[in-house]
Amino acid sequence: MSMIEPAQQAPVVRAPGPVAAPPPSAPPRREIQELWLALSRRDWRSVVLVPAGRHDSTEAAAMALAEVGRRLRSAPVNALVAPRLDYDSTAQVVRRLTAIAAAGGPDQLVVSIPPVVAEPLGVAAARQADLVVLCLEVGRTGLAEARRTIELIGLDRIAGCLLLR
């Protein structure tokens, strides 16, 4: 069985794992819209959202960011969610990121990975993406975890931060 499987919504690919998705009718929050607009000033095909905290998740943010992109662009914007990574699923995510870069078309991919402080294989995916966004949860993400995440990813790879409330 593939570690990354199609989810109920066609543009989202989900690796197996117990993560709840936001309702599709919920409009993306303002900070997600602002993040899309900030990222749209740059040339990119793939962006990886990396949670800074050991117990944080970027799944909802990745799906919402892809939704904003689908509403504002005429080209496809898809989300790929990997709540857990092992060697096989990491290789699949890296292949998907490589394929979208090689295609050179207008398609864009928003990827959610687990925290690299908990699952360091996510660094391979983050390094393959055009952009990386560090995601911090207000009142939950610790400073030491955020610093370690930046060290693992590399400050030069991080395009910006998203504060999640």
CB 155 within 8 A of CB 127: no
Q: Give the β-pairing of 77-81 and 108-112.
A: parallel
What confidence tens digit (pLDDT) does each residue in 56-102 have? 999 999 999 999 999 998 899 999 999 999 999 999 999 999 999 99
Class of the 5-15+44-164 domain? alpha beta
What residues contact 141, with CB distance under 8 A and at least 6 apart? 51, 52, 53, 56
Which residues contact residue 27 at a Cβ distance below 8 angstroms, ignoring those fewer than 6 apart? Answer: none
pLDDT digits (tens, 9 = 90+) for 121-143: 999 999 999 999 999 999 999 99
Model pLDDT, residue 74: 85
Averaged pLDDT of the chain: 86
Judge residue 151's burial from the number of C-beta atoms within 10 Å of its C-beta, 0-12 exposed, 13-18 middle, 19 or more buried: exposed
pLDDT band at residue 105, thresholds of 50, 70 and 90?
confident
